[in-house]
Every structure is written in structure tokens, then in C-alpha cells.
Amino acid sequence: MIDINLIRTNPDLVRENIKKKFQDQKLPMVDEVLELDRKNREAIQRADYLRSQRNKLSKQIGGLMAKGQKDEAEAVKQQVKDMQDELQDIEQKEEQYAEEIRTRMLVIPNIIDASVPIGKDDSENVENERFGEPVVPEWDIPYHVDIMERLNGIDLDAARRTSGNGFYYLKGDIARLHSAILSYARDSMIDRGFTYYVPPFMIHGNVVTGVMSFSEMENMMYKIEGEDLYLIGTSEHSMIGKFIDQMLTEDELPQTLTSYSPCFRKEVGAHGIEERGVYRIHQFEKQEMVVVCKPEDSMAWYDKLWQNTVDFFRTLDIPVRTLECCSGDLADLKVKSCDVEAWSPRQQKYFEVGSCSNLGDAQARRLKIRVKGADGKKYLPHTLNNTVVAPPRMLIAFLENNLQPDGSIRIPEALRMYMGGKSEIR
């Protein structure tokens, strides 16, 4: 959510940003906010005047009664009552204006960074850099589920019976590999100075609307029936939410956090749920990075975060690339974002395994997270998040890139201590 002062002082910038995101249907909202804001400020001024006059007249009533001027006192009482009635009406209008302004402000997109490429959708995202040499082996790479089934590591049929499509049972060495990757990701981030968290897996509705846009919420979040609770789609939601209504001190920044959680997603939209596979599913686990920092430091942290993911994948011998998200592919709260994509030898192309985002002060403004500077002035911090690793999607890249000619899976050196010393899975 942007600062309303920006709409007041530079509405053309806000309109131009909406156009860059190809959301022209939102352009009328800028004028609507300006008009509602004008009415709201007029109402506030009128209310302040009425309160001042009411207090002044109220003091006169006692003096008039003391002088025996009862009729004059009754007339003043009526004036006070009329002012009170008008004040109540205005206060209701203030609430109405404020709510209508907020409703629109929540869907007006954040101002994107000048470096973001302009494009309508993800087909116009731009490759930044490749890390590692993508290899296509001489032997055929089976579909990832076939690899897992040959190693007796997955049971999709049983999951369909218990839960439906979009769920899975992992077992044996594949389940162990899944846990090993998460443990290695956890320790990698701790070694880089991040504080490890296991957060709540359910959050209140006001936290949900504080951390994400309405379109994301509708397509992603599962609501607990009859309660003000939602299952998290990523631990970023509860990790940023932990700072709601908090005043941080400047010496507490940056907050560098890494969190484990299961993630639950409806996955509503064009992609849909795979009937046979674990690429797009309703439930998975993830290790996340979250940073809360000074505004002037956020772009430097953005570069550190995506580099952390690249480094992690390269230690597991998986080639990756970074893909800059274009304006039309950015969620409304994001200032800048890039995807980390892993190489698929079977498909001979890259696919998304993580996403790094700088959200500027949008989440902090929604959640009322503030910082008190050394000079005593208060400001909004910037928030960032990035995926360290999200198996089982990452398992697809791992299995394909570490598959050996005889069908066994090589375990890179960095992961062996988490696999009981094993150098391969057979």
C-alpha cells in the first residue's frame, strides 16, 4: 500500500505506475481517492471546529445559570445539542470515507523500482544471469514421479484416497532426502547469520491482508471455517506478521530471519493442480528468508537474498538462473522481484524453484510496523523475502541433475552428513 501523500502530491506518478502494470481498470481509483480524501479532510476540519465551539459554549452554560439567565442557558444547551448531533453525523462520515479510501488504497499497486522491465505478463520476464553449466546427459531422464517410484519413494495413489489430487506420500530414502535438503537449508542460513524460526502455521485475517494483495489471497489462502484463521501459504506471512503494530528501534535492524514451515495453497488459476506429479500441489514444505531493514539498505539486501539461494543450489550441483520479473508479473505490493529457476535436463529448460521480493514499505504500512530512529523520528522499514528452498519442487531438479546412468541418485558432498553418510540412493 502506497502513502496517500504520494497520491495527493503526485497523482500522475501513481497513474503512470498503474499503466506500467497494465492495470488500467484501476486508473479511476486515483481520482476517487483524491475526492474521498478531500471530503474526509473537510469533515475532519468541520468536526474539529464543532468540538471547539461545543466546548466553548458548554463552559458558558454554567455561568448563565449562575446569573439566573435560564432561557439563555437553555438556548445555548440546544446549540450544543445541535452541534453534538452534527458531530456524530460527521464522525460516521469520517469512518465511511476512511474505509472507502483504504479499500481503494489496498488495490492500487505499489510503485515499482525504475530497474523493473516493462511487460504484460511472465512471458516477458527477462533473464539476468546463469550459474553453472546446464547439461543434457546421453541417457534418457524419466519423469520425476517415475524416478521416485523406481526408488520406492512416493505413493500418489494412497494420497488421492486420503486427500485427493495435489497431495503425496513420500517415503524411504526420498522422504529422507526431502528432510535432508530442508535441514541443510536451515543450517546454511544459520551459518550466514540468520535467526532460525518455526512460526505459527495459521494467522488472523488482518495479518493476511497486511502481507499480501487481495488477488493473491483469493487464489492461495485456505480459511478455517468459523474462525478468524487462515493456513499460511508461506512462512513469510507469519514472520512479517510477528511485527504487527510494533515500534522497533533502529539498533534492532536489520532483522534477518530464516523460517521453516509447511505451506498450504489452493492454487486457483490457469495452472491448476497436477494429477500426477509434485510440481504444483496443495501442500509442501519450505525454508524461507525474511529481512526487515532500513529503506536505504533494502536493495543491497535484495541482492544478498537471491544470491543466497543461487549459492545453495550450486552446492548441490544444480545449474540455476535468475529471471527478472516484469512489471505485469509483479504482485501489487512488490517493488522488485526475481525468480530463481533450476535447470531441468529432462525438459531441457529452466523452471521456477524460488522467488525473491522487495516489498518496500508496503507491508510495514499495512501492518503499522514502525522504526524509531536515532534522531527520534519515526519511519516505516522495508521488508523482503526469498525462498531458500521448497521441496518437493526442488526434488525434481535434484533428482534430474543427480541421476546416474544406472538409475541411482548421486548425493553431493554437502548433503551426505544429513543422509547418514550415503553417497547415493539406489
Which CATH fold would you assign to the domain 4-105?
A: Helix Hairpins (1.10.287)
pLDDT for residue 33 is more than 60: yes
pLDDT for residue 269 is more than 80: no
pLDDT at 213: 78
For the chain, percent of residues with pLDDT exceeding 70: 98
Architecture of domain 122-425: 2-Layer Sandwich (3.30)
Give 349's strand partners.
344
Q: Read off the pLDDT of residues 208-220 as tens digits, 9 standing for 90 and up.
A: 999 987 777 777 8
* Residue tagged 484463521 (cell numbers): 229
pLDDT for residue 271 is more than 80: no
**If you compute the radius of gyration of the chain from its CA atoms, what whole number of angstroms results?**
28
Q: Read off the pLDDT of residues 309-327 as tens digits, 9 standing for 90 and up.
A: 999 999 999 999 999 999 9
Mean pLDDT of 79-104: 91
Rounded alpha-carbon distances, angstroms, from residue 60 to 50, 66, 69, 74, 86: 15, 10, 11, 11, 20
Domain ranges of the chain: 4-105, 122-425
Q: Read off the pLDDT of residues 224-233 as tens digits, 9 standing for 90 and up.
A: 999 999 999 9
How long is the chain? 426
d(CA 63, CA 385): 64
pLDDT at 390: 94
Q: Read off the pLDDT of residues 58-91 as tens digits, 9 standing for 90 and up.
A: 888 778 777 888 788 878 788 888 888 889 999 9
The two most distant CA atoms of the chain are separated, in Å, by: 108
Task: Supply the pTM of this predicted model.
Answer: 0.89
